[in-house]
């Protein structure tokens, strides 16, 4: 849902001459709101998605603006635009993802419990990480970079052999009823069943496993390694399709770029959960406002007791997605009433409001992507 040239949203209202959202915005640039229009050169600055993850999505990171421009100039077939792509995932169901580097003591513990991983990285690099003290963050990051890069660049036959040995060992331990958590066994076997022989299976020993409950979010800034593993989420991001991948994927892999660009600052998994703040203007609205100008998301929970609700006007174009509930929407901008139900999507111009006449016994759950400059 958005106006990226590789996936311009289709307008369903046949009374409107433009066929896509991008065409409509180009003809009606004031719909973006003055600040958004000026800051983002007349473009809608965000993309809004719903993801339903059954098989893990690739180990990846997104470049910052400077690197995105460089990659796009060099390899336009792989990096289709010059924009950065910070993104946020908000869980709709229990959701699992890998995100950011684990605290060093967790990585060291895996290196001691998983000899196959240690063999891939090599004793010299492992010992350097084991010796790096928490009082020297630059030393920790440098040692982490060496270890992760050695893993990701290891020779295919060697890592496949080590992975097969590891999978065999953990499968046997699991059959014998042993605790395999010291080797992250359950997750390793699950990813290996989805991507047999893939180097990405080893990244679970470096990256935090983050578990989100519905309504919880994680924010992924530039250069943050991540992968979505399973669950349903809404996702919002800057308007870009730039992804640097390194594993768990059949798509183009760019290991060198990924290892060069990553943020090697370890942090606990709890720090990866991004909080929503309840709006002071409307207690039904919770705002996720990440540290980038391109987008913010509002979660709107309307209780069953409210039968008439106003989606308030803001000074930004926004996209509204209905997750749960039914209502009839009216607006001064719309020529007729709009029937809204699960899966309905509305584009709302800046400074326009919508009145919802709720008809569902359970209230409504909506998400609204916008730009809060």
Q: pLDDT tens digits, residue range 91-106?
A: 999 999 999 999 999 9
Q: 15-48 burial, b if ≥16 CB within 10 A, otherwise e?
A: eeeeeebbebbeeeeebbbeebbeebeebbbbbb
Nearest to 228 by CA among 53, 369, 49, 1: 53
87 labeled binding residue: yes
Residues 6+ apart with CB under 8 A from 259: 145, 148, 149, 152, 153, 246
User: Does residue 54 surpass a pLDDT of 90?
Assistant: yes
pTM of the shown model: 0.95
Residue in 245, 299, 342, 368 annotated catalytic: 245
> Residue 70: its pLDDT value, please?
96
CA of 353: how far to CAs of 43, 126, 244, 346, 356, in Å?
Answer: 21, 58, 39, 12, 10
Which CATH number applies to 46-275? 1.10.441.10
72 labeled binding residue: no
Domain coordinates of the chain in residue numbers? 46-275, 277-370
| Whether the Cβ atoms of residue 132 and residue 162 lie closer than 8 Å to each other | no
Q: Give tens-digit pLDDT for 315-329.
A: 999 999 999 999 999
Is residue 230 annotated as part of the catalytic site, yes or no? no
| Whether the Cβ atoms of residue 231 and residue 53 lie closer than 8 Å to each other | yes
> Residue 133: its pLDDT value, please?
76
Q: Give tens-digit pLDDT for 144-168.
A: 999 999 999 999 999 999 999 999 9
128 labeled binding residue: no
277-370 has CATH 3.40.640.10 classification = no
Residues 6+ apart with CB under 8 A from 63: 71, 79, 84, 85, 222, 223, 242, 244, 261
Residues 6+ apart with CB under 8 A from 315: 33, 34, 35, 36, 350, 351, 373
Q: Give tens-digit pLDDT for 271-314.
A: 999 999 999 999 999 999 999 999 999 999 999 999 999 999 99
User: Does residue 68 surpass a pLDDT of 80?
Assistant: yes
Chain centroid, CA 229 distance in Å = 11
> Residue 337: its pLDDT value, please?
94
CA–CA dist 299, 301 (Å, integer)? 6
CA–CA dist 157, 164 (Å, integer)? 11
226 labeled binding residue: yes
Helix-then-strand count for the chain, H and E: 10, 19
pLDDT band, very low/low/confident/very high, at 248 (cuts 50, 70, 90): very high
CA–CA dist 349, 314 (Å, integer)? 9
């Amino acid at each position: 849902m958005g106006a990226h040239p590789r996936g311009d949203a289709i307008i369903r209202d046949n009374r409107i001459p433009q066929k896509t959202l991008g065409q409509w915005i180009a003809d009606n640039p004031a719909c973006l709101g003055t600040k958004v229009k000026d800051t983002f050169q007349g473009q809608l600055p965000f993309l809004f998605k719903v993801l339903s993850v059954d098989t893990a999505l690739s180990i990846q990171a997104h470049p910052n603006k400077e690197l995105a421009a460089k990659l796009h100039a060099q390899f336009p077939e792989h990096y289709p635009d010059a924009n950065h792509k910070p993104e946020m995932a908000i869980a709709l169901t229990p959701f699992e993802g890998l995100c950011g580097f684990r605290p060093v003591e967790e990585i060291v513990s895996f290196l001691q419990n998983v000899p196959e991983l240690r063999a891939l990285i090599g004793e010299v690099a492992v010992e350097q990480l084991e010796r790096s003290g928490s009082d020297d963050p630059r030393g920790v990051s440098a040692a982490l970079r060496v270890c992760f890069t050695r893993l990701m660049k290891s020779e295919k036959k060697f890592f496949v052999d080590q992975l097969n040995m590891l999978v065999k060992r953990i499968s046997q331990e699991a059959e014998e009823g042993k605790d395999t958590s010291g080797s992250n066994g359950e997750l390793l076997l699950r990813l290996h069943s989805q991507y047999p022989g893939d180097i990405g299976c080893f990244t679970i020993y470096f990256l935090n496993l983050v578990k989100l409950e519905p309504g919880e979010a994680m924010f992924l800034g530039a250069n943050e390694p991540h992968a979505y593993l399973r669950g349903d989420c809404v996702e919002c991001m800057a308007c870009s399709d730039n992804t640097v991948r390194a594993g768990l994927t059949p798509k183009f892999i760019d290991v060198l770029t990924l290892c060069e660009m990553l943020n090697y600052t370890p942090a606990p998994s709890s720090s990866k959960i991004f909080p929503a703040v309840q709006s002071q203007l409307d207690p039904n609205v919770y705002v996720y406002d990440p540290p980038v100008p391109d987008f913010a998301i509002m979660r709107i929970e309307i209780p069953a007791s409210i039968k008439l609700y106003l989606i308030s006007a803001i000074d930004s174009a926004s996209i509204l997605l209905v997750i749960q509930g039914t209502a009839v929407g009216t607006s001064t901008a719309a020529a007729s009433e709009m029937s809204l139900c699960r899966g309905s999507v509305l584009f709302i111009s800046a400074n326009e409001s919508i009145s919802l006449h709720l008809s569902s016994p359970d209230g409504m759950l909506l998400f609204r992507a916008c730009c809060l400059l």
